[in-house]
Amino acid sequence: MKVVLAVSGGVDSMVMLDVLRKRRSDLVVAHVDHGIRSDSHMDAELVEKVAKTHNLMFETVSLRLDGDASEELARAKRYEWLERVAKKHGTEIIATAHHRDDIIETVIINLIRGTGWRGLCSLRETQNRSRPLLGMTKAEIVAHAIEHKLEWREDSTNDSTAYLRNRIRQRLQSIDDHKKQLVIDLYQHQCSLRQEIDVQLSEATKEWLVEGAFQRYPLVMCEDVVAKELLQTWLRGSLEQRHMSRLLLFAKAAKRGDKFSLDARQYVRATPSSLIVETKDN
């Protein structure tokens, strides 16, 4: 199956491209120009040149976001497009260049934001998300790029303190390796724990599914934290955490025929004993 590589033109993604193109040829190099920087078109030109040099398929898009666009918006738009590219090429696998230092930053960011225990192991490989550089540090990535004479471009926004990740990255420069390893140990423990919990949630969800309808009884009887996890597993993580409390309240109190909107296409309809996901009429 083909793999879509998210290549920004920065050193991380250019090293990922270099590593993977030596292992396989069925790669689709995908570049997103967010349009936030005036010189971002030069990133696209570099990525396209390298992709064509190695006879790899190349896809690109210009999102034309303004300079005030948040990291969250840019990320959401980027992945939305990458998933469309993957579908176009008959695959679900998207590879990103996240590395060991990114794990540490992400764990700290999610602790600050209070995203819960899942946020401590959000950067991990899954069935459709490949992250081949997770075992490498930023220093090792740069060393690889220099050794193999790779070209890359520096993103000037990486120095901006307007972004939380950049502020954390700067603070981490003064943290010793032992403390960083403690964060990695926490991440690895949570990943192992998450795998065990996901298996149990999957089994419990199947038990309470009857002909595609999720039974409301366990949601009423369980503690809220468990009920939310069951709903999240049932919906395959498609609902943001901030909406989960409202859905749980709906599950407990909704009357026959009441509806809870999931997105622009789907809603949950309540029956006296169950919840059913249905598609909205066009």
- Which domains are delineated in the chain? 3-97+125-158 (3.40.50.620), 208-279 (3.30.465)
At residue 46, does pLDDT exceed 70?
yes
Tens digit of pLDDT for each residue in 213-266?
A: 999 999 999 999 999 999 989 998 767 777 889 999 999 999 999 999 998 889
What is the pTM assigned to this prediction?
Answer: 0.80
Please give the pLDDT value at position 37: 77
Query: Tokens standing for 121?
Result: 């192991």
- pLDDT of 187 strictly over 60: yes
φ/ψ (deg, to 5) at 234: -60, -40
The token pair that represents 239 in the structure block: 């609902």
pLDDT class for 67, splitting at 50, 70, 90? low
How far, in Å, CA of 171 to CA of 167, rounded? 6
The string of pLDDT tens digits covering residues 194-207 is 999 999 999 999 99
Quick one: pLDDT band at residue 95, thresholds 50, 70, 90? very high
Q: What six digits make up the tokens of 43?
A: 């990133």
Percent of residues, the chain, with pLDDT higher than 90: 69
Residue 111's alpha-carbon distances to 128, 177, 215, in angstroms, are 25, 20, 33
Give the pLDDT confidence score for residue 281 in this predicted structure: 75
**Average pLDDT for residues 22-28, to the nearest whole number?**
94
- Distance CA(259)–CA(144), nearest Å, equals 54
Residue 19: exposure state from Cβ atoms within 10 A (0-12, 13-18, ≥19)? middle
Which is it for the CA torsion 198, 201, 207, 211, positive or negative?
Answer: negative
Query: For the residues 44-50, what does the mean pLDDT come to?
Result: 96
Averaged pLDDT, 172-177:
89
Beta bridge partners of 130: 95
Pairing of strands 57-62, 27-33: parallel
Mean pLDDT, rounded, for 93-101:
97
Whether residue 105 is predicted with pLDDT greater than 90 in this model: the reply is yes
Encode pLDDT of 109-162 as tens digits: 988 887 778 888 989 998 899 999 999 999 999 999 999 999 999 877 776 777
Helix (H/G/I), strand (E/B), else coil: 85 = helix
Distance, in Å, from the CA atom of 85 to the CA atom of 90, rounded to the nearest integer, reads 9
Q: CA 244 to CA 228: how far, in whole Å?
A: 6
Lowest mean pLDDT among 30-34, 97-101, 157-161, 172-176: 157-161
Q: Tell me how far CA of residue 81 lies from CA of 125, 200, 278, in angstroms.
A: 20, 32, 25
What is the rounded CA–CA span in Å between residue 229 and residue 27? 35
